[in-house]
Structure 1
Amino acid sequence: DGLRKIVTHAQDDQKLASNLVSRVNIFDQLKGVLPTLSSESQKQFNNVLIANNPAELEALMETANKELARSRLLKKTDQIQAKAEINKINKGSLTKDDAIIKFAKSDKPAKISTLFASFVKLDQKYISNSLLQMNSDALVVLCKSVDISVEAVREIGEMRCRILHMPSSTVDKFVNDFKNMDEDASQRTMRFVGLQTNLKKSIV
């Protein structure tokens, strides 16, 4: 985390960038950091570094590009696997709860967001945002609206704790909020969200 912060600041600081690349084995360390930056941050940092050590930078970018390609491939694979489970759910050979529990125990939020997106007919990006936000209010509404079990909700809460490094006490709060949420109210809210989303799309 410390190196990542330095890299972020070095995007706009030529002297800091120069000092950074002069460190021994810094490019080996940067291989693990650069892929975690946004594409825009990577471009800015590259512009600063290119005058200092272009050969090492080229090797570094090759590694970053491979990591990006790998990340995209994993995401695509997750979506394909989740859609296969959706087909099973639609055919009645798998329950929503079983699919969600399996993905949650494996820490696969992308797969869960694909499932939820199909349940509520929303773009996956909206589901992904609520799934891994610290504030779980929107996720509680979402879970209640798709009629899943308390066990499935608890597994989602446990997954969030592991990924977001939250205290275990948040799981009980998440589950209790789900239990106390009115199902009709949650479905009305999701219908409203759907209308708002479609309206924004039509304007764009």
Structure 2
Amino acid sequence: MLDNITDLAREKSSDKRRELLGRVADLFFDGAENHTEQGTLIFRDIVLKMLNDVSVEGRAEFADRVATEQRLPNEVALKMAQDDVSVAGPMLQHSPVLTDDDFVQLSQTLPETHLESIAQREHLSGTVTDALIENGTRAVWHKVTQNKSAEITPKGFNTLVNKADGDAVLQANLCSRPDITEDAAKRLLPLLPPEGKAQLAQLFQDDEKAANALVDRAKKAAADQKIVGRQKRLEAKIVIADVRDGKLDKSDALCMLVETNRGPDIVMFLAAMADLDEPIVSNALYQTNDEPISLLCKSIGITSGAFGKLMGLKADKLNKSLAETGRTVAFYKDLDVSSAQRAMRFVSMRKNMGTTKAG
């Protein structure tokens, strides 16, 4: 086996590298139980070198071939796990040689598509799901909660509940988890529509006391939500009044609202500061294109720091990447105030013309 692999490694033609990689794998895995440690090390070194000379398509083909192999050297699996998702996906989802420690480390550097592959593994420990929840995006949280064989720790459930406000998919996934903790269920309850509350209570049907407590909390939550909603709108109006009276800086006020994750109040605040209707501001904030909200915030003098926090909240809600958010903040820093104000005057003029025509 050793002589054959060594001979193949001498081939230099790039056209043959893809074929050679498969033949090396066949030579190694056929009867791998009889290979010496030295043979395994040589296979590892040859494959690591050859992977640099094979196209993405060839590496993806090789990944499909070796992803489930228990004898694949860990170093090879790790290298492929950090490749293009077509190569990394099979390794991250199926490789038995990648460890929990590997996944924790990889979760800190890999992009969303790669973390989604980890989240779909047949078995996931609480250690790995904690890392995915901490380092992943909304799409990753959806995959983790949909994976019924994934172990989610109490800490993980609490974090997911904190992220579930306004996320119907995450709420539905959590409601279908029979392993959800009672504490997390109680905290999730106020966020749910009626059918979600009923489904969540059903999970605790074997624990009559817990089920009854959840039903009672659901009734109370429905009433409390109406009160809390009115209170939040009142508090937002106070913030607006303080800014107008000079008691509070508008950028500091925006940061306060962002930190409390109050989307409707942020819209109310920005609409008041820009003298625009709330639906116009809401559309600017929640559309994929970041330019309208950038122009609005720049025109009213929001600092780059406060705008960055707002974009962080938007990225979380719309599942946008950190790189995209960073580009938006960089654009905002370079944006000319006069240009932004001219653009917003045009928006205001169109709004007023529309009001006049309607009248």
Q: Quick check: TM above 0.5?
A: yes
**Paired residues, number:** 151
1:192 partnered with 2:356: no
How far 1:78 sits from its partner (Å)?
3.0
In the alignment, which of 119, 123, 129 is matched to residue 273 of structure 2? 119
Aligned counterpart in structure 2 of residue 139 of structure 1, from 290, 293, 316: 293
Residue 75 of structure 1: CA displacement?
Answer: 4.7
Residue 95 in 1 paired to residue 259 in 2? no
Shift of 1:32: 2.7
CA contact (8 A) 1:75 1:110 kept: no
In structure 1, the residue matched to 2:187 is none
Q: Higher helix proportion, which one?
A: 1
Q: Return the alpha-carbon distance in structure 1 between the equivalents of residues 269 and 348 of structure 2.
A: 16
Q: CA deviation at 1:170?
A: 2.2
Residue 79 of structure 1: how far off its partner (Å): 2.5
* TM-score calculated relative to the size of structure 2: 0.38
Q: Distance in 2 between matches of 1:71 and 1:202?
A: 37
User: What amino acid sits opposite 1:32 in the alignment?
Assistant: G
- Opposite residue 242 of structure 2, the aligned amino acid is K
Distance in 2 (CA, whole Å) between partners of 1:152 and 1:91 is 20
**Secondary structure in 2 aligned to 1:94?**
coil
Q: How far apart are residue 161 of structure 1 and its match?
A: 1.4
**Contact 1:157–1:170 at 8 Å: present in 2 too?**
no
| Aligned pair partner of 1:177 in 312, 331, 337 | 331
Distance 1:194 1:160, change over 3 A: same
Cα deviation 1:134-161 (Å, max 9, x = unaligned): 1111011011101011110110011111
One of 305, 311, 325 as aligned partner of 1:157: 311
Q: Is the 8 A contact 1:145 1:190 kept in 2?
A: yes
Distance 2:247 2:305 in 1: 19
Structure 2 residue matching 1:143: 3-state secondary structure: helix
Distance change (3 Å), C-alpha of 1:75 and 1:184: farther
Deviation of 1:70 after TM superposition, in Å, equals 7.0
Q: Give the Cα separation in 1 of the matches to 2:343 and 2:355.
A: 18
Runs of 4+ in structure 1 off by over 6 angstroms are 69-72
CA shift for structure 1 position 73: 5.5
Cα deviation for residue 169 of structure 1 reads 1.5
Q: Note closer, same or farther for the CA distance 1:76–1:173 as it changes in structure 2 (3 Å cut).
A: farther
Q: Which has the larger radius of gyration?
A: 2
2-structure distance, mates of 1:70, 1:129: 28
Partners of 1:109 and 1:78 lie apart in 2 by 11
Distance 1:105 1:31, change over 3 A: same
Distance of aligned partners of 1:126 and 1:71 in 2 relative to their CA distance in 1, 3 Å threshold: farther
Instruction: Name stretches of at least 5 consecutive residues in structure 2 with no aligned partner.
Output: 1-168, 173-192, 198-217
Q: 1:200 to 1:152 in 2, by over 3 A?
A: same
Aligned to 1:31: 195
| Deviations, residues 58-78 of structure 1 (Å, cap 9, x unaligned) | xxxxx9xx96x8776655433
The one-letter amino acid paired with 2:275 is K
Contact kept? 1:157, 1:171, Cα under 8 Å: yes
Q: Which residue of 1 aligns with 2:108?
A: none
How many angstroms does 1:188 deviate by?
0.8
TM-align CA RMSD: 2.9
What TM-score do you get using the length of structure 1 for normalisation? 0.64
